[in-house]
Chain A
Amino acid sequence: MSLALIAALPFLGALLPGLMIRAGRDACAAMTGSVTLLALVLLGLHAPAVLSGEVVQTRIEWLPALGLNATFFLDGLGLLFAGLILGIGLLIILYARFYLAKSDPMGQFYTYLMLFQGAMVGIVLSDNILLLLIFWELTSLSSFLLIGYWKHLPEGRQGARMALAVTGGGGLAMIAGMLILGNIAGSYDLTVILQHKDAIQASDWYLPALILILLGAFTKSAQFPFHFWLPHAMAAPTPVSAYLHSATMVKAGLFLMARMWPVLAGTPEWFWIVSTAGLVTMVMAAKIAFFKDDLKALLAFSTVSHLGLITMLLGFGTKAAATVAVFHIINHATFKAALFMTAGIVDHEAHTRDLKRLGGLRTLMPITFGIALLASLSMAGIPPLNGFLSKELMLEEAAHTTWITPWAMGVLATIGALFSVAYSFRFLAHGFLGPVRSDYPHKPHDPGPALWGAPAALALLVVVIGLFPMASVAWLVNAAASAVTGEAVAVKIYHWHGLEAVALWMSIAAVGGGLAMLGAYPRLRAIWDAAPRPEAKHIFDGIIGSLAATARASNDALHNSSLSRAIAVAVLAIAGAAALAFSGGMHLPGSRDLMPVPPLVAVIWAVMLLAAVAVPFLHRERVVALILVGVVGLLIAPFFVLMSAPDLALTQLSVEVVTILLMLLALNFLPKTTPVESPASRRLFDAGIAGIAGTGIGWLAWEMMTRTAAFEPISHFHLAQSKPGAGGTNVVNTILVDFRGYDTFGEIIVLGIAALAIYALSENLLRSPAVTRRLGLMRPEREAGDRHPMMLVVSTRLLLPMAMMVGVYIYLRGHNMPGGGFVSGLVFAIAYLMQYMASGYGWSHARQRYDHHVLIGWGVLIATLSGAGAWLFGLPFLTSGFEYVHLWPLEEFELATAAIFDLGVFLCVLGAVLLALASLSRLALRAGEVVNTRAYDIENPGEAR
């Protein structure tokens, strides 16, 4: 459980900053930091077990049938990464507290940061690859939010979009690759997959899976040719750059390569793809970094270069190289995060990060300079700092690796190291050395210890690891490298390998060459500025632009914004597909006995059909069409009565009344006639389509009705269990409130949402000036003499209590006889609507004590509570209370649980119907309808006008 808790803690912690920010920025940062600290402590508790070679596991079954379980495991590699993520995360939280300006929403920042932290910890602890993929995509999403944190900056928004497109796209490729691996291994658990090296490497699917997974890793870790997004992501606030783009997120790709190393590495494909990509990235990015003037851009390309170095080492596929890779991951995280924070301090104090405007900060900011000096010397690989140790080991490995020729790899790696020395020294020389200038945008001085504390702690690590590598980190490197390679690793890190070590001479050449390069900087810069270079952002924008244009063109071609055309095409396609399917299959003639036609039904049928067929001919007069549709709808009710469906008849009748009322009301705001627009040929064509579809459906219904079902209907169960199981004799009602109660529960919520949506839409309309103007012009041309006739008012008043009594009666009998909450709610609604019709909406509404929203809310709440009541008895949600009938004193309750649920249905239906119609009526009020002060007009007609 505790591993899952470690992964869950940052997510839980993400909720806190939003709340704590009200208590001030210090409290907010402290709270956020303490969550991270707690996770770090929990992780630390597992460290002894992991270091002794154990693998800690946590397993929570979720969807075992799909192989999707929340399984976590912690080995040396996971411990290293989780420690980096949480440890540096803690420093970043401290740093960000003092870095962010007062105007920046800090609660939001910490929330995003914690989301990201949780996703990262999730990646490194996941055992299940599906779970890992979810966390992987979460890091893309949360980093999108972090990069675009300064929403007002266009670079921030564009950088965030580019990062999301590249890393998210790579993640999609990786999903496919991981699924292939899972299929080969027969399990989605990493621990199982890692044991199937031979099966995976022998599979035909090895190469596709490898390429897809590497696409994910390369995009995330900014390897060539996907490196271009990282420098643009530097538009993020510096704490984000330090955390995501140096220490953690960009290392997720490296983590993945290291994690999959036991099964994927060791083949020629792996060697050529991975080490080449790493080598090219390392050399190219280091060269670009040298010419960057923006401190963060320089560090960004340097990060890309170092990621390339680690990728290259992993690509070698040897145990020794993988161990060096792990070592360099630790070293790079320490010095690079410190450098980013230093760059942030310079930006914060001098208000610029441009090397051309800086220089001389050594005397103005001695503490910052000290930190920058240690970290950048380490980056350059100067002894005895930690960067030197891993760089020596890297050069040694490169020198002994054959890539095209035996010496090419060594030479190129030396050149990469040379560039690295050059840009590290340029960072120092052009930023901190030289004379103090008089034209800084802001007079710089050292900030307080709160801001330099975090980078200073990292700089201290740089020195400690550099001086005492065996005592300080060898244990961690051993544990992580053993996890990567699957064999016990006992690393030996020395400062001095003797004069015969080739790496020493490569190092000396790199330092000398780097210093020479810095000396020749002005001339090299002139050449660089004159040389044409492809701008990755333009290429990227071009690709995205052309994709968008293609999508738009195909969309416009398929969809010309014509609803009629879309419907026609869809209907014809469905009819065609149905005809094809039907002609392809085999079927026997129907054998079911036909039912004789009762004379009454024949009459009803004829009237209904007549009304239906008349609609297309008379539909231009909208009121007439509406009446005809009403006739059809009402005549369906007796059909249901005759066909043994009394509940349906009741529902159809009451819904029909409400629907027609709604449409009549709506017609107030719409034109009363439909003009002739389409030519006769078009109408004939439409009629043809409608005829084809109608014939098809009618025929299908005929074929269905003349046959008995191929399978026994499941409703035998409902019929048999209705009385003993649900305690009611009306099976339709017991299905609604008991057997399928969850469906009904969902349905009343949908109905409530629909009503609220109507309310919200009408509210929006009332706010729009154009709508109000148009409503104001919409004075009725002709009104009835009596708007609120006394006869109608008096009779509806009398009917109100009677209708309510009928409603209550229908509700109470519902469980055993036709009726129930749906019908009862509709009857009540109609009784209220009659009052609206008689005395006007405004008059009635003023006398109504409860809002319709409240009814909907109570309805859903009561239904929920009646369902949740079953939990008290240890039963699943919505279990009917009938089971407890024989237990004293619950006898009184047993009938109640289903009835209480039905009460919720009743309230929700009532509220929804009334809210929908009331929303329309509010439009009418705005349209200039006068609220009458009396119930009817007879006494003083003038008042109502």
Chain B
Amino acid sequence: MEALVAIAIGVLTAVGLYLTLRLRTFPVILGLTMLSYAVNIFLFTSGRLTQNRAPIIGTGETYADPLPQALVLTAIVISFGMTAVIMIMAIGGFLESGHDRVNMAEGNDEAAEDRA
């Protein structure tokens, strides 16, 4: 079981990173979503894997580690907030500039002109 989880974490990370290396905003955001899946599972497994030992007092002798679960729970909610913010930024970028590239075009660097 541990091997399966480790492989899943690895694959999700790799796919997520590959997508974040793309040149358009939407794949980058999808990639970040995939990465946050991987990170959340990774954090969760730091409590080690257990079966049928939900941390509800009175349901058994020993329990799964509740602390990583609590951390991951908030992380899931926050990653939604983060995704929503970068999504509106991506939309804004596209609507303002007419393209959805993540890299600034070389030679026609508006920000550089502003600085000058």
Which residues does A use to contact B, with CB under 8 Å? 552, 556, 560-565, 567-568, 571, 592, 594-598, 601-602, 605, 608-609, 612-613, 615-616, 619, 622, 625-626, 629, 632-633, 636, 639-640, 642-648, 651-652, 655, 658-659, 662-663, 666-667, 669-671, 674-675, 677-678, 686-687, 689-691, 693-695, 697-699, 701-702, 704-706, 708-709, 713-715, 718-719, 722-723, 729-732, 735-736, 740, 743-744, 747, 750-751, 754-755, 757-758, 761-762, 764-765, 768, 770-771, 774-775, 816-818, 822, 826, 909, 912-913, 916, 919-920, 923
Closest 4 CB pairs of A and B: A698-B10, A694-B14, A561-B104, A702-B6
How far does the alpha carbon of A195 sit from the alpha carbon of B1 in the complex, in Å? 68
CB <8 Å contact, B67 and A718: yes
How far does the alpha carbon of A702 sit from the alpha carbon of B83 in the complex, in Å? 28
A652/B51 contact (C-beta < 8 A), A669-B94, A762-B88 known: no
How far does the alpha carbon of A696 sit from the alpha carbon of B39 in the complex, in Å? 13
CB <8 Å contact, B15 and A616: yes
CB <8 Å contact, B26 and A622: yes
Cβ of A669: which chain B residues have Cβ within 8 Å of it?
91, 94-95
Task: State the Cβ distance, A644 to closest chain B Cβ, in Å.
Answer: 4
Total count of chain B residues near the partner, CB < 8 A: 91
- The listed residue (B29, B74, B85, B90) touching A757 by CB distance below 8 A is B85
Cβ of A909: which chain B residues have Cβ within 8 Å of it?
77
Task: State the Cβ distance, B18 to closest chain A Cβ, in Å.
Answer: 4
- The listed residue (A677, A714, A731, A743) touching B57 by CB distance below 8 A is A731
Task: State the Cβ distance, A631 to closest chain B Cβ, in Å.
Answer: 11
Closest to B60 in A: A644
A602/B4 contact (C-beta < 8 A), A612-B34, A736-B73 known: yes
25 contacts between A and B (CB under 8 A): A552-B115, A563-B103, A564-B103, A567-B17, A594-B3, A601-B1, A613-B15, A619-B27, A644-B63, A646-B54, A647-B69, A651-B76, A662-B83, A669-B91, A669-B95, A670-B26, A689-B17, A691-B14, A705-B6, A714-B67, A715-B65, A718-B67, A736-B73, A761-B85, A770-B95
How far does the alpha carbon of A412 sit from the alpha carbon of B46 in the complex, in Å? 75
How far does the alpha carbon of A514 sit from the alpha carbon of B115 in the complex, in Å? 51
How far does the alpha carbon of A677 sit from the alpha carbon of B22 in the complex, in Å? 9
Closest to A608 in B: B8
- The listed residue (B27, B51, B55, B106) touching A732 by CB distance below 8 A is B55
Cβ of A642: which chain B residues have Cβ within 8 Å of it?
51
Give 1 or 0 for each of B17-55: 1 = CB within 8 Å of chain A CB.
111111111111110011001101110111111111111
Interface residues of B in 65-88 (CB under 8 A from A): 65-67, 69-70, 72-74, 76-85, 87-88
How far does the alpha carbon of A699 sit from the alpha carbon of B100 in the complex, in Å? 35
CB <8 Å contact, A686 and B92: no
CB <8 Å contact, A643 and B51: yes
Closest to B91 in A: A669
A595/B49 contact (C-beta < 8 A), A561-B111, A605-B8, A686-B21 known: yes
CB <8 Å contact, B88 and A568: no
- The listed residue (A609, A644, A774) touching B53 by CB distance below 8 A is A644
How far does the alpha carbon of A779 sit from the alpha carbon of B13 in the complex, in Å? 37
Task: State the Cβ distance, B57 to closest chain A Cβ, in Å.
Answer: 4
CB <8 Å contact, B91 and A713: no
Cβ of B74: which chain A residues have Cβ within 8 Å of it?
736, 743-744, 747, 822
- The listed residue (A601, A699, A757) touching B10 by CB distance below 8 A is A699
Cβ of B63: which chain A residues have Cβ within 8 Å of it?
644, 719, 731
How far does the alpha carbon of A565 sit from the alpha carbon of B12 in the complex, in Å? 21
CB <8 Å contact, B81 and A751: yes
In the assembled complex, B109 has its CB within 8 A of some CB on chain A: yes
How far does the alpha carbon of A613 sit from the alpha carbon of B102 in the complex, in Å? 23
Task: State the Cβ distance, B24 to closest chain A Cβ, in Å.
Answer: 5
CB <8 Å contact, A697 and B18: no
A761/B88 contact (C-beta < 8 A), A564-B21, A743-B74, A755-B81 known: yes
Cβ of B55: which chain A residues have Cβ within 8 Å of it?
644, 719, 730-732
Give 1 or 0 for each of B99-116: 1 = CB within 8 Å of chain A CB.
010111010010110010
CB <8 Å contact, B80 and A658: yes
CB <8 Å contact, B80 and A670: no
How far does the alpha carbon of A731 sit from the alpha carbon of B84 in the complex, in Å? 29
Task: State the Cβ distance, B110 to closest chain A Cβ, in Å.
Answer: 10
CB <8 Å contact, B50 and A644: yes
Task: State the Cβ distance, A280 to closest chain B Cβ, in Å.
Answer: 39
Cβ of A916: which chain B residues have Cβ within 8 Å of it?
81, 84, 88
The secondary structure that dominates the A interface is helix
How far does the alpha carbon of A560 sit from the alpha carbon of B111 in the complex, in Å? 11
How far does the alpha carbon of A795 sit from the alpha carbon of B24 in the complex, in Å? 38
Task: State the Cβ distance, A724 to closest chain B Cβ, in Å.
Answer: 10
A740/B70 contact (C-beta < 8 A), A612-B11, A619-B22, A666-B87 known: yes
Task: State the Cβ distance, B10 to closest chain A Cβ, in Å.
Answer: 2
- The listed residue (B1, B45, B72, B81) touching A912 by CB distance below 8 A is B81
The secondary structure that dominates the B interface is helix
How far does the alpha carbon of A689 sit from the alpha carbon of B79 in the complex, in Å? 24
CB <8 Å contact, B6 and A730: no
- The listed residue (B44, B57, B87, B102) touching A719 by CB distance below 8 A is B57
A662/B92 contact (C-beta < 8 A), A592-B48, A595-B2, A595-B51 known: no
How far does the alpha carbon of A564 sit from the alpha carbon of B19 in the complex, in Å? 10
Cβ of A670: which chain B residues have Cβ within 8 Å of it?
25-26, 90-91, 94, 100
CB <8 Å contact, B56 and A729: yes
How far does the alpha carbon of A740 sit from the alpha carbon of B51 in the complex, in Å? 25
How far does the alpha carbon of A594 sit from the alpha carbon of B64 in the complex, in Å? 15
**Chain A CB within 10 A, most for which of B11, B16, B41:** B11
CB <8 Å contact, A705 and B84: no
Cβ of B76: which chain A residues have Cβ within 8 Å of it?
648, 651-652, 655
CB <8 Å contact, B80 and A735: no
A705/B102 contact (C-beta < 8 A), A731-B55, A758-B88 known: no
Task: State the Cβ distance, A88 to closest chain B Cβ, in Å.
Answer: 42
CB <8 Å contact, A644 and B70: no
- The listed residue (A592, A730, A762) touching B56 by CB distance below 8 A is A730
**Chain A CB within 10 A, most for which of B22, B53, B115:** B22
How far does the alpha carbon of A429 sit from the alpha carbon of B116 in the complex, in Å? 48
How far does the alpha carbon of A613 sit from the alpha carbon of B18 in the complex, in Å? 11
CB <8 Å contact, A563 and B48: no
CB <8 Å contact, B77 and A643: no
CB <8 Å contact, A632 and B96: no
Task: State the Cβ distance, A859 to closest chain B Cβ, in Å.
Answer: 13
Cβ of A629: which chain B residues have Cβ within 8 Å of it?
30, 33-34
Closest to A663 in B: B87
How far does the alpha carbon of A775 sit from the alpha carbon of B42 in the complex, in Å? 41
CB <8 Å contact, A750 and B88: no
CB <8 Å contact, B18 and A686: yes
Task: State the Cβ distance, B2 to closest chain A Cβ, in Å.
Answer: 4
- The listed residue (A633, A648, A658) touching B69 by CB distance below 8 A is A648
CB <8 Å contact, B66 and A732: yes
Cβ of A686: which chain B residues have Cβ within 8 Å of it?
18, 21-22
CB <8 Å contact, A920 and B103: no
CB <8 Å contact, B7 and A644: no
CB <8 Å contact, B51 and A644: yes
A659/B33 contact (C-beta < 8 A), A648-B72, A758-B85 known: yes
Closest to B105 in A: A561
Cβ of B20: which chain A residues have Cβ within 8 Å of it?
567
Task: State the Cβ distance, B11 to closest chain A Cβ, in Å.
Answer: 5
CB <8 Å contact, B33 and A633: yes
CB <8 Å contact, B57 and A702: no
CB <8 Å contact, B64 and A645: yes
A754/B82 contact (C-beta < 8 A), A694-B17, A729-B57, A730-B56 known: yes
CB <8 Å contact, A775 and B78: no
How far does the alpha carbon of A666 sit from the alpha carbon of B17 in the complex, in Å? 21
How far does the alpha carbon of A671 sit from the alpha carbon of B101 in the complex, in Å? 11
How far does the alpha carbon of A201 sit from the alpha carbon of B109 in the complex, in Å? 55
- The listed residue (B5, B65, B85, B103) touching A713 by CB distance below 8 A is B65
- The listed residue (A706, A750, A764, A816) touching B2 by CB distance below 8 A is A706
How far does the alpha carbon of A816 sit from the alpha carbon of B59 in the complex, in Å? 11
